[in-house]
Structure 1
Amino acid sequence: MKVGRAILAALVAVVLSSALLAAAASAQAVPLAAKPNIVFVLTDDLSWDLVDYMPNVRQLRREGVTFSNYIVTDSLCCPSRASILTGKYPHNTGIYRNTGADGGFLAFRDRGQEQQTFATALAAQGYRTSLMGKYMNQYNPKSVRDDLGAPYVPPGWTDWQGVGNGYPGYGYRMVRDARVVRRGHRARDYLTTVLRRDAVGFVRDAVGNGQPFMLELASFAPHTPATPAPRDRGRFADVTAPRTAAFDEQDLSDKPGWLSGHRRLTFAQQERIDAHFRKRVRSVQAVDRALGRIRRELRQLGVERNTYVVFSSDNGFHMGQHRLTPGKLTAYDPDVRVPLIVAGPGVPAGATVEEIAENVDLCPTFSELGGAAVPATVDGRSLVPFLRGGPAPADWRTAALVEHRGAVTAPDDPDFPARGSGNPPTYEALRTRDRLYVEYADGEREFYDRRVDPEELDNIVDELSPERLERLAASVQAMRTCVGVGCRQAARLGVESPLP
């Protein structure tokens, strides 16, 4: 009997041990399997006025949430992308330009900013992470190599398809399967189309392997020269740039010196603006098709309900507003307020969030969605409460910080301003839902009450009291020096009293 009991006890122990091991394995596997996928379509210089021409983006809006006051930290490619990757303001990344000691990929890497991004956070959580397309200015897959001589891959990316100088849409170099590949000028080489095909293949492979994935498809479109896909070249022949109240603004006498001397747009300039706008509309068609094709693949693979799809841009673009020929770099609405649209599990359909959001929020948002801890050094805040349909947290920011270091003077910079497009000096700006305050390094200021002046036509800074101007200056100072949690505090403390 004792032997029988011993055998029985041993068998029970084995069964219990096996059950515990299975439960442990299940406990580890379930969270990984349950982690949501993230598809992030990041465009280059896409402004809100292009969304009307993008049916798949409009469908995404109907099925998800639109952040109507989503602001970028700088209307310039590299500083904005640095903020997106790290969740930090330019004064904490040290990236203010596209090139030089304080800008570009080389400075971003040398300052150690690549070591803590949403890619590193998600990879540590078991995600397969892929970047396809534009990374940062100065990234050149031919010349940037690791210690072993292979194409350089930034930390956190398990699948890397970085592209160098993809602005023309053809004749670019890209990394594929750890090799640098040169693409030609045939229709099948058109960059956005190549990225679409590769993105679909990546999604299939990741789903087939049972891995949660994060895909960033980063187009160069509609950045100048805004090359369209072959099938889109002759489309939208009658489209013109929107003639808002700010287009060819009548009176610039109240504007700062860098702008006030601009003359009214000539008929020839307006025609060129319209032609450029048509090119931009045509160039985003391939991006829109890529978004739609990826979403169809998600549905066919049965993972759409566990995938967040995010559409946005690194900065906006002005086209005739305030007498400016096509360009960016300003603190005005067309340049700093860009689309942010999200659909996915639990996201309320057709919703609009009017609270101020900023591109520093994307890193903590992606990190939280993937189950990663958000470092205290991050300046932004997760947008997940809004994605779940909840109200704004009680301590949510009331202002976004925009900080620009100007003027842009490097002729080899792809964002070197054309004549008449505007090249403001260094400034900091605070943007709330209803106000815009700009403080230039040369001492000039702007203040717009967007409740009655949404086009930012009437600079009423001279109507503000000295006390109010002093509070505004203190608010800017608090924001321009903040770090981490301090930024979240300053974004409320500095603005809710002075600006309203």
Structure 2
Amino acid sequence: MSFRTFRYTTLVTSLLIMAGCSASAEPPGRPAAAQPASASPSAPAPSAPASPTRPNIVFVLVDDLSMDLVQYMPNVRKLQQDGTTFTNYTVTDSLCCPSRASIFKGQFPHNTGIIKNHGSDGGFRLFHSRGQEKSTYATDMKTAGYRTAFMGKYLNEYFAKSTMGTGKPYVPPGWDEWAVGGNAYDNFNYDLNENGKVVKYGATPQDYLTDVLSGKAAKFITTTAATGQPFIIEVSTYAPHAPYTPAPRDAALFPGLKLPHTAAWDKVPANSTWLPAGMKLTKAQKQRMDVEYRKRVQSVQSVDKMIGTLRDTLTKAGIADETVVMFSSDNGYHMGEYALPSGKQTAFDTDVNVPLVVAGAGVQAGRSVDLIVENIDFRPTFADLAGAAAPAETDGRSFKPLLAGEIPADWRATALIEHHDPATDPADPDYQSDSRNIPPSYDALRTTTFTFIEYVDGTVEYFDRRADPHMLTNVAGTLPAARLAELRTALRGVATCIGAQACGTAARAIS
């Protein structure tokens, strides 16, 4: 028994024990396991297991994960069974750097100022030059007495050798352990800044980046657990981002697997304001996406294995019952839906509604929650778990009560999505070579029942997702003028809000 386990024995009466949680490998192509039991937010909630007052936090963030990949991730599905799944988790922007900035700061892109992956209005260099790194969830948690670690992909434009005028490879404030790469999407032949020292990795199977991160994270957990100090670690993989490189051991899995075709496959939504009617995918695009999808499924196998490894490590260290494990993605990904080739950046659910699964101390098991949660909520949630107040600058709100089955009466009704100055520069790793894949700038509201989008030219789209879950018909033209005016006003309110109180009020102003 660890020091922290002993210390919390008198406090913990009913814990979610996460032993033996590494799921066994499944045959290629096996159908998805049953989803966690659905529970309406308004229904009486079963009691949640008790939690230590300051649990450890393991946060696994992946890159470009779409919902349809979860069925191939047995350890993620085990996490769902053991914890709570947020079915309406929504990102502030379906683009890497703006989304990640929202996580670090707990702010919408209109407040972080990060609206692109690089250049004058986005990327690591702007985040750094604006002094944003001086106040993030890392500095919060370090001040609260947590040991902090970040491993993997940080922000676009960060490179392992970056010094930012410090004279040595740069490590941002707030991090005790740092193992971060730059353009390491190939998962081989990359550099990592390891606590201020650049280490080169090659092309052997042992150099595969997700596995390297898994080993470093497991070591951090083991060594920190022995000290009794609470910790938070974010492991941020490059997988399954293009070029979708799988671990060598997984490169032959799922032979013959092809991209699933949903109701939105190769269909332009009726009355679309920006997609040309009658647009169709080419034969070459369809063939390419079949290969890409299979590689994406292969590439997430290493991520799934890592989740099992880290949960096993928590159990062996005797701290599984003192730890909260979170799994999510920076954004989603469309592949063939709406006649669009592989990409993101749109306000369709394929791109903005991504997995968020949480299990561990104080978290209800086997529960689905459909309340609106956003990536601006991580920072205040981390602070809440640490027993600290959320910084005043955050726009988000702690979802810790939702983990225990509590439903605050004043929870937000809508999520804000804002996407501006799309990725049109070939230097951007998310550059879209096909102009059809680049939506105009927009702001959007996403509730549990509809999505309302206003584009830069003033045109609007409204998708009633209850009647039209695949978002195939824009019915904005059928809405009364008063309703449209109400939606526009509500959108402007959230798109300009500053701070948790104002943003919370604005997000409750529409239903």
Match of 1:216 among 229, 234, 238: 234
**Which stretches of structure 1, 4 residues or more, deviate above 4 A after TM superposition?**
none
1:289 matched residue in structure 2: 305
Q: Residue 245 in 1 paired to residue 263 in 2? A: yes
1:151 aligns with 2:166: no
**Could you list the runs of 5+ residues in structure 2 that have no partner in the other structure?**
1-6, 12-51
Alignment of 1:66-465 (within 5 A): 66-147=85-166, 149-249=167-267, 251-257=268-274, 259-260=275-276, 263-390=279-406, 392-419=407-434, 422-465=437-480
C-alpha distance in 2 between matches for 1:269 and 1:83: 33
- C-alpha displacement at 1:407, in angstroms? 3.0
Q: Which amino acid aligns with 2:372?
A: I
In the aligned structure 2, how far is the partner of 1:327 from the partner of 1:318? 6
Percent sequence identity is 50
Asked whether the 8 Å contact 2:154–2:180 carries over to 1, the reply is yes
Matching residue's letter, 1:256: T
Distance 1:130 1:244 in 2: 39
Q: Which one-letter code corresponds to 2:428 in the other structure?
A: D
The number of residues matched between the two structures is 463
Paired residue for 1:471? 486
Separation in 2, partners of 1:127, 1:146:
28
1:212 offset after TM fit, Å?
A: 0.9
Structure 1 residue matching 2:121: 3-state secondary structure = coil
Cα pair 1:324 1:420 within 8 Å, conserved: no
RMSD value, Cα: 1.6
Local SS of the residue matching 2:120 = coil
Contact 2:53/2:385 (<8 A) preserved = no
- Displacement of 1:267 in angstroms is 3.0
CA distance, structure 2, for counterparts of residue 190 and residue 262 of structure 1? 42
Whole-Å Cα distance in 1 between the matches of residues 63 and 195 of structure 2? 25
Deviation per CA, 1:326-346, whole angstroms, max 9, x where unpaired? 000000000000000000112
Cα deviation, residue 35, structure 1: 2.1
Q: Deviations over 1:21-76 (max 9, x none)?
A: xxxxx99xx9xx95210000000000111000000000000000000000000000
Which of 66, 72, 75 lines up with 1:56 in the alignment?
75
SS at 2:252 equivalent: coil
Any idea what the Cα deviations from partners look like across 1:232-261, whole Å, max 9, x if unmatched? Answer: 001111222221100111x5451112x225
Tell me which moved more, 439-448 or 266-275.
266-275
Aligned to 1:10: none
Tell me the TM-score normalized by structure 2: 0.88
The 1-side partners of 2:75 and 2:341 are apart by: 29
SS of 1:202's partner is helix
Shift of 1:166: 1.2
Q: Which letter maps to 1:244?
A: T
Give secondary structure in 2 for the equivalent of 1:447.
strand
Structure 1 CA distance for aligned equivalents of residues 184 and 273 of structure 2? 35
CA drift at 1:262 = 6.4
Change (3 A) 1:76 1:238: same
Equivalents in 1 of 2:163, 2:208: separation in Å?
Answer: 23
Residue pair 1:262, 1:323 contacting (<8 A) in 2 also: no
| Aligned 8 A contact 2:345 2:422 in 1 | no
Whole-angstrom distance in 2 between the partners of 1:307 and 1:175: 27
TM-score, normalised to structure 1, is 0.90
Whether the aligned pair in 2 keeps the contact of 1:406 and 1:424 (CA below 8 Å) is no
Cα offset for 1:145?
4.0
Correspondence for 1:4: none
- Give the whole-Å Cα distance in 1 for the aligned partners of 2:68 and 2:270: 27
| CA 448–177 in structure 1, closer or farther in 2 if over 3 Å, else same | closer
After superposition, the Cα gap between the structure-2 partners of 1:262 and 1:403, relative to the gap in structure 1 and judged at 3 Å, is: farther
* Superposition deviation, residue 298 in structure 1: 0.4
- Counterpart secondary structure, 2:361: coil
Equivalence for 2:14: none
| Counterpart residue identity of residue 212, structure 1 | P
Whole-Å separation in 2 of the counterparts to 1:443 and 1:146? 43
CA distance in 2 between counterparts of 1:477 and 1:444 reads 14
**1:144 deviation in Å?**
3.0
Letter matched to residue 108 of structure 1: F
Report SS of the residue matched to 2:462. strand
> Structure 1 residue 210: deviation in Å?
1.8
Are the structure 2 counterparts of residues 34 and 380 from structure 1 closer, same or farther at C-alpha, using a change threshold of 3 Å? closer
SS at match of 2:327: strand
1:253-289 CA distance string (max 9 Å, x none):
51112x2256212333212111110111011100000
Contact 2:270 2:474 in 1 (8 A): no
- Secondary structure of 2:307's aligned partner: helix
CA displacement at 1:418 relative to structure 2:
2.8
Letter in 2 for 1:465: P
Deviations 1:106-162 (A, max 9, x none): 111111211221111110111110000000000012133452x12111111111111
